Every structure is written in C-alpha cells, then in structure tokens.
A and B are shown apart, each in its own frame.
Chain A
Amino acid sequence: MPEKKIGLKNAGIINPESIGDYIAAGGYDGFKKALHMTSADVIAEIEKSGLRGRGGAGFPTGMKWKTAFNSTSYPKYVICNADEGEPGTFKDRIILEQDPHSCLEGVMLASYAISAHKAFIYVRGEYFLPEKMMRKAIADARDAGLLGDNILGSGYSLDVQIKLGAGSYLCGEEFCLVESLEGKRGYPRIKPPFPAEKGVFFQPTIVNNVETLSHIPHIIREGADWYRTMGTEKSPGTKIFTLCGDVNKPGAYEAEMGVPLKELIYTFAGGIANGKTIKTALVGGASGTFVPPSELDMQMDYDSLKSKGFTLGSGAVIVLGEGRSLPEFLFGILGFFQHESCGKCVPCRAGTTSLRNAMEDILAHPRRKIKNEKSLSEMEWLSTLMLKTSLCPLGQSPYFPITSAVKYFKNDFLGKE
C-alpha cells in the first residue's frame, strides 16, 4: 500500500506562510463551496463520509456536529484541539507548522456547519513555532476576507482566536481543554453532558483534533464518496502514523486506514535501527498497547485493532528493538502518568502513584520472581479498577500498556529473559 496523503497533502510542498500558495493548491475552495450549501448539507456530507475523530477516541465527527447543530442554545463555539502531548505523537505539529491553512479551513467549515461565530484554536504552550504559523495564517485569512464580518458577501461572520496552554498533558482531553480555555485549572468535568451539548461557557461546543479538521476541506471539496474509496468500511479515509523509537527513518507517514503494521514499520520507516529484530511496538502512544511481533500483520484501523484488544489512539507507533528493557520503558510511561494526573479524582491520583511505585519496586528487585508476579497481578487489578472508576481518560489509560505488557511479555518482569 503506497502512502496516501490528505492531512499531509501540502506539508513540505507549499510555503506554509503564504496563503496564495495554499489557495493555488485548491485551498479554501471547500469553504467557498460550503458557503453555497446549507449547514445541514455540510453536516450530512461529513456524516456520509464516515470521518472519525483522529485525536484518539475515534468518535464519528458528523455525529458530534449534528448534536451541536440540533441544540437550540446560542451562541455555539468550535474549538480546534492542538494540545498534542501524547508521547510518540507529533502529527499535529507537522500540520500546524507546514500547512496551517488546511486546519484553519477545517475550523471555518465546522463553524459554518453549526452556525458558530467564534472559534478557538487551543495550541499547547510549548508549541512556539506552530502557534506563530497559525497566528500568521489567521491574520492572512482575515486580510483575504475569509474571516471577519460578512465573509465573501455571504452574510456569515466568524472570528478565530488562538488560546495557549501552559504545559499540561491532561488539557488534551476535551473537557479539561474547555476548562483551561475558560481560564481555570484543567480539571475534567463529569460526562454527560458532552461538550457538543454543554461545552465552553456551558454552550454547545465542537472540539475536534487538528488532523480531523484538516480532512474536512478535502471531504467538502471532493465529496464524501471520494473519501469513502479510501480506508475500510467502518474507518474510511487516511491516518497519519507517527513512527519513532528504534526505526531507521522515524517520522510521520500518512496511509489509508487498514494498512498493516508491518508495512508501516518495515516499508515506510525503513525497518529496525542497527539491524536488530523487533521486540515490540507500542501502538497509540503512552496510553496505547504493546503489540507482540506475532501480531505485526494486523490492520491499523479502529475496529480491527479493537477486536484484538489493541487501540489505535493517536496513531503513534513507538518501536522497541531487541534488547530494550520493557520494565524500564513501562516505568517511564507510568512516571509520565503520575506526573500528569491532575488529582481531581481519587482512583487516578492515588492509583498512578501506586502503579509507578510498584513498577519501581519490580525494577529494583528484578530477580524476586514470586513477589514480582504478585505485584504484577496487583498492578493489573489496580489499573482495571482505575479504568472503571476514573473520571477522565488519563486514569483509564495505564490499563492498556500494563495489561498488554503483562499478557505478552510477562517473563521480562520476572527476571528470566
């Protein structure tokens, strides 16, 4: 399967700071076309395309929009989630740095679809260059008459504003992002109501990932049927996979949904570094699952992965070559969760610390076979408890790396390689 680009179509080809380049590449045609369509038609087209959120959850985008559209409460808002912080993921940074207009056009289309007159782009605090690029893109679009009052004489007005995060992984979760955007601590809210019903300022809000939004202009321009020719039945379209770790050519590669994992690692990323064999790949970032070498033929789409107990997450593939210590790597992940837990709900606050400490204990005493086996099953139990009782996805995340590591690589933790 060759590379197929939608989100990265212009990346590295056009000058990201030139709106002219973007327009010459077919940019803003989708938005101009949409201005002649009704909001309901735009949403119907997105629903028909079967586009699913690329941020990690894979929720149908059209359904999200429809909920916000059907709400009778005004004003409505659109938020672009550019608070990318999942270890192993850097797709949004590439889109924002190299093709900010495609994301902006997606924001404009989403806003038009639900009749929102204000949209926010929430960029994480450490993303200085992406923020600069996006600021320029917004200013250029405003100068070109694509933002502001009465856009292109259609009577529709839209204002887009950049908001900055300040170093919190958790703010990538939609409700934490909403709270942070309101100028508060990034604590999760209880769901439901979902943001599409009661989001920012308790008004209907669409929160979409950068990659999701960058697909929207293409779907509107080329049509939902074109989009459905790519990918699988239930996960149409393409996905950006970010390959990193022990591979020869780490980077972001975009391919159709359903591409085999093996192809991503060996064809796109050029195989394992230093001529080694593969030990495992962590698919989906820190909150993803460890995939054993025996499952490398697996198709990379939401449903195929889910049916085998894996997750696609944000599309990150972290490859570990032979000889890497899995306990040490898992310890790094658990330390990450412990640091980023906000402390609002008890299972996550206490659980992430206990998990990290348990893993540290195993690392310190690698030869205590019986005791470590017991600690491992306790860790599995605790992470299952957290999965069931935590308020937001952060507390639910450690379950995936822990259970998959124990399932496929238990011996690594018991001191007999």
Chain B
Amino acid sequence: MERNHVLAQFEPRQENLLLILHSLQNNNPQNYLTQDDLSATADFLNLTKSSVYGVVKYYTMFSLKPRGRHLIRTCMSPVCRLLGGRDILIELEKLLGIKWGQTTKDGFITLEPSKCLGCCGNSPALLVDRTLHGNLTKAKLREIIAGIRNPSKLINKRGRQCQKKK
C-alpha cells in the first residue's frame, strides 16, 4: 500500500500517532520505519519530525533499521529466565547463526529479545510475528524455525523457476 493510503485511514490527530506508526511499519516488507515515513507522518499530523522521532525511539516495537520479514521476539522476563529462557535464546542464536538484535543474511528472520510477553504460565515463551509459542524446548524450537523457513523455500523455488523461464 502507498504511504499516503495508509495515512488516509486515520484522522490527522496526534492521538493516532502510535496507530499510524504501527500501520506504516507493518506496511513495510522489512518491518521498519524509514526517514520518509517519519517526515510524512510529521507533516500529516502537523508535528515536527524530531518529536515523531522521539516517540519512535521511546517504544521498543518500532525500528529505524531494516529488519527481517519475520520477527522472533524471545521473552527475557525474570520468569522465563528462571525456566531456561537464556538457553532458548542461545539455542536460537545457534540455529539462526545470528546474535540477538541481528537479521539473518537472507533478510528473512530478525531475532529480538522482549521484556515480558505475558505468558509466564507457559514459560519459556517466544512470539513469532503475531503467534505466541509457549513451553519451549530445543526440539520445539527447531520445529518452529522450520515452520517459518518452509514457506520461504517454496517462494524461492518459484522465484528461481520464473527466472529460468525468462
């Protein structure tokens, strides 16, 4: 969707700022807010760009750097840490070959720690995009990663086939 179309869904009032930023970020295939997004939002709401930037930097869910198409947020709350959340994060880093805060080389998955996902009854937990996974084990982690990776292989295959035909 065009940026202007996203903005047009909202009334130009400052109280909608967070909703607008969420929509713009979700609209970006790389899950982040560009400098142009900030400028356009500031113009739309009649705010300064610096004040929009200030809001973006305050909230951890917004990113100013490109991220992967899928976000994995691991819970790092005291409860998840207690029940092995750290090992889960280390295992994930090993499986994906990246450190937390980084994106895989193919730009597919970004790994981020989150403070508490409100899933302490099923610790340790993580969030893949919009889906919550609890009671994690190393085996379950591999399944989850394979689940995210699998559709990507199909898309890549198709992409390659298309190129060959050309």
Chain A positions near chain B (C-beta within 8 angstroms): 84-90, 92-93, 124-129, 163-169, 180-186, 242-246, 250-252, 286, 316, 318, 320, 324, 329, 332-333, 336, 339-340, 342
Contact = CB atoms under 8 A, between A and B. Distances in A.
Interface stretch (B9-17, B92-100, B152-160): B9-17
Given A125-B59, A126-B114, A128-B130, A87 B78 contact: yes
B58 A244 contact: no
Contacts of A84: 118
15 contacts: A87-B77, A87-B120, A125-B61, A128-B127, A165-B59, A166-B22, A166-B60, A167-B59, A168-B59, A168-B60, A245-B82, A246-B83, A318-B82, A332-B81, A342-B58
Contact of B61 (A88, A89, A167): A167
Contact of A184 (B13, B55, B83, B123): B55
B18 A164 contact: yes
Nearest to A85: B116
B115 interface: yes
Nearest to B73: A126
Contacts of B127: 126, 128
A329 B61 contact: no
Interface in B77-107: 77-79, 81-83
Contacts of B15: 163, 181-183
A166 B62 contact: yes
B119 interface: yes
A83 to B, nearest CB: 10
A316 B19 contact: no
Contact of A86 (B58, B59, B81, B116): B116
Interface residues of B, number: 38
Contact of B132 (A124, A129, A166, A324): A129
A377 B127 CA distance: 39
Contacts of B115: 85, 87, 167, 169, 336, 339-340
B21 interface: yes
A245 B83 CA distance: 7
B121 A163 contact: no
Given A245-B83, A318-B78, A332-B78, A127 B18 contact: no
A125 B61 CA distance: 8
Contacts of A245: 79, 82-83, 120, 123
A244 B19 contact: no
Nearest to B51: A184
B118 A126 contact: yes
